[in-house]
Chain A
Amino acid sequence: MTASPPPLSPLQTRTALKVLSWDGLALPEPVTVCLKPEPIQIENFSVPLPLPRVAVRSYAFKATAAPPPARQRPAVASIACRQEEGSGPAAEAARPRARIKPPGDVVKLSERIFYLLQPDLETILETSELVFPHDPYPFQYEGMAFLAPRHSAVLADEMGLGKSMQAISTIRLLVHSGEARRVLVVCPKGLVSNWKRELGEWAPELVVAAIEGEPARRRWQWQLEDVPVTLANYEVLVRDEALVEELKLSYDLVVLDEAQRIKNRGSRTSEAVRGLRRRRSWALTGTPVENSAADLVGLFEFVSPGLIHDGMPPRALGESVADHVLRRTKDKVLKDLPPRIDRDAIIELSPEQRETYRLAEEEGVFRLSEMGPGATIQHVFELVLRLKQICNFDPATQVSSKLDRLEAELEEVAASGRKTIVFSQWVAALEKISARLTRFGPLQYHGGMPTPARDEAIRLFRERPEHSVLLLSYGAGAVGLNLQFSEYVFLFDRWWNPAIEDQAINRAHRIGGTGGVTVTRFLANGTIEERIDKVLAGKRDLSEMILSTAEGLAQEGQRAGKGFTQEELFSLFNLPSPVRRAAAA
């Protein structure tokens, strides 16, 4: 072989050597062969067998009060949709539960972890001693979970979704956990009685002081101690601004209802609420942005001063407030909501109305008693009508608590571009309502109008956004009209027969429709209206009531007779009916 083989690696060398030695044939060129094995290097490969030390970080939480034995969940509110859409323990277990999450502005890790380690809100409530009159909807639990940890929050749910109930329940949680000791709720004058009522219903154990009356009385009320919730209307707050400052009042939480009132930063109202000393600021409004981004800036001057400012691009504005605003519309939570929400708005009469009402009732009952067996159903009926009219408007001053309330609620509805229909028994009442609500472009529809005018009213209401309210009389508007684009119905006064009311409501309520309808029935507290309502509620399910409506609309007195028996009418005033008196004789 002339060609030399390629150099071998040490291993190959050993192999080659072995092979060459074996056959003993031609030896190659001499190679360097290391016959002596390389010394084995024992590396000092030290494995730290003990596993690394573990550093532990600990968080201890404030001891909670001894929990009472777990209570049964309260009965689910009797709302058809909720029951239809999968009820029972399985559905209940499958439903995602609301958790309190740390807000973005909580930066301390221990605080963020504290929130994350809490059980879901429903469990917290179920295992507390707090009993709720109704089981809140899932979105309402989420609303409470949103509010609870926040110092700056805007709950911007659409009207009718229970903003006040969510705020009250969260206030209750904060008071019971010791996170809030003094809370101030500010609302429009027309909603003070409603807040009192809702606080009584959803937080019955919380003492509430409503600021009202003469200056000396108000001074005393502002200074009351050990009162967790103080309730004031915007006008009173503006009037007492200097007093609040003088007394150096400060609050753990200030809640503004219908907070769109403070959108104008230059207004006295806005200045008064911004001057309040407070740790937490919550705003409740269905229309956080009514006309422009400036509305939101105005709102946040109270909620979180300096967070946003004029001239910010919309995207930046949205990003800045995202963690502070929660808005749900009926469409979004429809799976939780029935297609129709009914709510009774209990109205406290103004002092003027109350006094007029008292005198009229006392005088009327006295006259009926004086008439003895000569008193007829017509006499009683006339008294009822008279009292109902006073519940609507004080005849001397035209003061109306119902109209105050309606106006407050319409502000929100109209601002959100929704349509509202309002029913009353009297055309005169519709006229008065119309005169007060001119800024909502009210239209009327009643029997006193010629047909072309009525048709035109419906057309304008349907097509023109500036007309957000339609005022109807029960007689003319209860049947035959299709107003299903309206999402809010107000019954300014009550009809005699619930089936007629249902017909009126069904002008807007679409069975199987995609949107919900909110029906609000006004009831003057402690008046004939409440007594009538009790009788009607008892009769609502009776088939004779339903059948009676089929007989059509006749004269008012006759219609009343269909809903109420003679005995029932007399019993409204604790008077025996003539039939009973005759039998007794």
Chain B
Amino acid sequence: MQQPEEGRGAIGFLTTVASASHGVFGGYLLVDEVGRPLEFHCTAPVRVSRAQEILYGPTLHGELHGRRIGGSLVAAAGVKPRLVLVESPQMMQVQGETDLPVAVVDPVEPLRERFGSLLPEIDLREPFERIREAIAEAQRHG
């Protein structure tokens, strides 16, 4: 993968979507400072066996969703964002795979206090919905 270029004001939105029939999909959307998409990366569905579920226990979510899926997606990006936002604390494990700052989007207010002008004036939860729609579309198209 080429060295990511510095994305002016770019923000990354990273999440996973679990499908009972397919497995876990990952999606990573990079938007500019006004919310327009720059890049989108998504994974093929990842399945884990029952044995893996048992053996990984409560660490599975962080390991699979955060490190494996999240790490692969962040590594695939060509644009280097200022910040990567995730929806769940388990996804924070992606930090082990990147040197980018990572934060959980909820609650938003402390986040805005912490990152201030780094964050664009857009609804920070909304891009996750776009990812889910895009993943659903990709799923429909096989």
Contact = CB atoms under 8 A, between A and B. Distances in A.
B is bound to A: yes
A119 B51 contact: no
A64 B9 CA distance: 13
Contacts of A51: 46, 48, 52, 63-64, 68
Contact of B37 (A57, A61, A66, A67): A61
A59 B39 contact: yes
A33 interface: no
Interface in B30-44: 31-44
Interface stretch (B70-78, B80-88, B98-106, B107-115): B70-78
B97 to A, nearest CB: 11
B6 interface: no
B138 A109 contact: yes
B73 A52 contact: no
Contact of B39 (A49, A58, A118): A58
Contact of A60 (B26, B31, B52, B78): B78
A56 B137 contact: no
A54 interface: yes
B126 A54 contact: no
Contacts of B122: 119, 123
Given A51-B52, A52-B46, A114 B37 contact: yes
Interface residues of A, number: 30
A307 interface: no
A63 B55 CA distance: 45
B47 interface: yes
Interface string B124-141: 001100110110011001
A268 B36 CA distance: 45
A230 to B, nearest CB: 30
A122 to B, nearest CB: 11
A336 to B, nearest CB: 22
Interface string A176-220: 000000000000000000000000000000000000000000000
B52 A47 contact: yes
A49 B60 CA distance: 11
Contacts of B77: 58
B126 to A, nearest CB: 7
A333 interface: no
A113 B36 contact: no
A118 B130 CA distance: 8
Nearest to A113: B134
B29 interface: yes
Contact of B42 (A49, A56, A67, A127): A56
B137 A112 contact: yes
Interface of A: 47-49, 51-52, 54-61, 63-64, 66-67, 70, 102, 109, 112-114, 116-119, 123-124, 127
18 contacts: A51-B46, A56-B43, A57-B41, A59-B40, A60-B39, A67-B33, A67-B36, A70-B121, A112-B137, A112-B141, A113-B138, A116-B134, A117-B130, A117-B131, A118-B36, A119-B130, A123-B34, A127-B34
Given A47-B55, A54-B43, A127-B36, 7 more contacts: A51-B46, A57-B41, A117-B131, A117-B134, A118-B36, A119-B36, A123-B35
3 tightest A-B CB contacts, nearest first: A127-B34, A54-B72, A117-B37
